[in-house]
Amino acid sequence: MTRLVAVSNRVAQPTIESKSAGGLSIGVLSALKEHGGVWFGWNGKTTDGEPGDPKIEQVGNITYATIDLNAVSFDKFYNGFSNTSLWPICHYLLGFFRFDRREYEEYRHVNTLFANKLLPLLQPDDIIWVHDYHLIPLASELRLAGIKNPIGFFLHVPFPDIEVLRVLPVYTQLLRNLCAYDVIGFHTPGDLAAFNEAINQKEIGGIHKADRRNNSPDRHFRADVFPIGIDVDNCYKLASTARQSDNTKRMIHHLHDRNLIIGVDRLDYSKGLEERFRAIERLLQNYPENRGQVSYIQIAPKTRAGIRAYDDIRHTLEQATGEINGEFADIDWIPIRYLNRAFDRPTLMEFFHEASVGLVTPIRDGMNLVAKEFVASQDPDNPGVLVLSLLAGAASELTDAVLVNPYDIDGVANGIQVALTMPLNERKERHASMIEILRRNDITTWRTHFVDALMQARENLK
């Protein structure tokens, strides 16, 4: 029987309490829950020595196979090349980019290690689905070890334009590594177009559409768009238990019937939080009627502690919150509640349900699941309005959101004002049209289309 083997850097293990799993884990877990299979990757623990054999744990229809990583190796692979070279490049944020060849070598070493630890677990009929930028060379490593199974790769972050990609000294190697997969998936047509342009560059020997061979004369790869989605009904089910959780009751009590504006993001400089806080300030300056009438709650659980840019953004936001609250707060009201911690998923969906405005304004994002969860959590008879960055992948599907450029502080403030004052009929129409898109491209469609593409790759080889 065909097993689905998902591989990602981090595995969200069921036995470890994790309130903020992040977009990749949410997507992989939902796909595996439906299909069943194996999830292989790092368990979140570092050791002084070399990692041992994978620890196997069966929960329901999912087999979790996880390994430790050596602490020094992890630092160079994850904090270094993955998150200080690749992440900024993929998000067009070159001011955060740094390159160190030793970190790149460790990145390759960890990919070799992943391949070696995964090998003994693989069966001839398995289809393998590798996730995200941490593991681009994995298929090449598995092929070197003789693995013939179909292997797919899904990129959860944007694929950058060639002129940006070229800043990375090792980009040609990584492009060749990508071409070793049978299926390469992106969130948006723009990402796919950027990839196609990159592989046609002379530097990598120009892999043309008609001749997409991946390291062997009998294999071709398919690159395509698979926009990640959510479980729409599940979000609404969690959301519509509103006013039941203790946190939600307390939140509503302190809201005093004011309009709630909500943001939920991993604490990451790509999420545009500083610009968003300034847009709230501008809203209160440009539209003073909102003073005392709106409450903005920003939930931002910490991630990637140990990378300087992530500590810096925390300090910047603490300072901005202090300044804005200092300027506008009254005896019985503060404009911004900035919560630097995670909440459980049902509570988040309940908060979305209560909000008049969902503020999702990343300065670049592969897709952005929060935008989709916000829409799915709304009451169709009285929905809140999504204010969405044009630079998030989700904007290519959710065209009925209030679309804004996150760098344009006045523009975002204006977008929030439009959302706050939007008539009920228009809110209902926009919501209905977005729900239709969310249902069409939901998590099942994402998983099914990708797995079907891998099955097809196997057929093509016969």
Q: Should residue 135 be labelled a site residue for ligand GDG when binding is judged by CB under 6 A?
A: no
Neighbours of 49 (CB within 10 A): 8
Q: Given the DSSP bridges, would you call strands 357-360 and 385-389 parallel, antiparallel or unpaired?
A: parallel
Strand locations in 231-353 (E): 259-264, 294-299, 336-339
The 346-385 site mask, x for binding ligand GDG (CB under 6 A), equals --x----------------xxxxxx--x------------
- Per CB under 6 A, the list member of 4, 264, 294, 355 interacting with ligand GDG is 264
The 18-37 site mask, x for binding ligand GDG (CB under 6 A), equals -xxxxxx-xx----------
- Per CB under 6 A, the list member of 286, 301, 333, 396 interacting with ligand GDG is 301
**How far is residue 323's CA from residue 449's CA, in Å, rounded to a whole number?**
48
Output 366 or 406, the one with its CB closest to ligand GDG.
366
Q: Should residue 9 be labelled a site residue for ligand GDG when binding is judged by CB under 6 A?
A: no
Q: Should residue 266 be labelled a site residue for ligand GDG when binding is judged by CB under 6 A?
A: yes
Q: How far is the CB of 264 from ligand GDG (least distance, A)?
A: 5
**How far is residue 278's CA from residue 151's CA, in Å, rounded to a whole number?**
44
Output 35 or 364, the one with its CB closest to ligand GDG.
364
Output 147 or 183, the one with its CB closest to ligand GDG.
183
Q: How far is the CB of 120 from ligand GDG (least distance, A)?
A: 29
> Could you give the angle at the alpha carbon of 219 between the alpha carbons of 213 and 221, nearest 5°?
60
From residue 297, alpha-carbon distances to 5, 69, 151, 364 in Å are 38, 36, 42, 21
- Which among 359, 338, 363 has a CA at the least distance from the CA of 419? 359
Q: Should residue 157 be labelled a site residue for ligand GDG when binding is judged by CB under 6 A?
A: yes
From residue 2, alpha-carbon distances to 28, 127, 276, 432 in Å are 18, 7, 46, 38
Q: How far is the CB of 317 from ligand GDG (least distance, A)?
A: 15
55 CB contacts (<8 Å, ≥6 apart)?
A: 43, 64, 65, 66, 67
Structure tokens at 204: 């990598």
Task: Report residue 203 CA to chain centroid gap.
Answer: 30
Structure tokens at 40: 């292989």
Are the CB atoms for 103 and 77 separated by under 8 Å? yes
Candidate list 132, 268, 365, 442, residue with the active-site label = 365
Taking CB atoms, the residue at the shortest distance from ligand GDG is: 23
Q: How far is the CB of 454 from ligand GDG (least distance, A)?
A: 18
Q: Should residue 313 be labelled a site residue for ligand GDG when binding is judged by CB under 6 A?
A: no
Number of residues that bind ligand GDG (CB under 6 A): 27
Q: How far is the CB of 284 from ligand GDG (least distance, A)?
A: 25
Are the CB atoms for 165 and 198 separated by under 8 Å? yes
Known catalytic residue at 365: yes
Q: Given the DSSP bridges, would you call strands 151-154 and 183-186 parallel, antiparallel or unpaired?
A: parallel
**How far is residue 5's CA from residue 451's CA, in Å, rounded to a whole number?**
11
**Contact range with ligand GDG by CB under 6 A, out of 120-128, 277-285, 341-349, 453-461:** 341-349
- Which among 373, 354, 364 has a CA at the least distance from the CA of 264? 373
Candidate list 91, 131, 134, 156, residue with the active-site label = 156
Known catalytic residue at 53: no
Q: Should residue 344 be labelled a site residue for ligand GDG when binding is judged by CB under 6 A?
A: yes
Q: Should residue 342 be labelled a site residue for ligand GDG when binding is judged by CB under 6 A?
A: yes
Q: How far is the CB of 128 from ligand GDG (least distance, A)?
A: 18
**4-23 per-residue burial string, b: 16 or more CB within 10 A, e: under 16:** bbbbbbbbbbeeeeeebebb
The 207-236 site mask, x for binding ligand GDG (CB under 6 A), equals ---------------------x--------
Q: How far is the CB of 197 from ligand GDG (least distance, A)?
A: 21
Which residues are catalytically annotated?
156, 365
**Residue ranges that bind ligand GDG, judged by CB under 6 A:** 19-24, 26-27, 156-157, 228, 264, 266, 299, 301, 342-345, 348, 365-370, 373
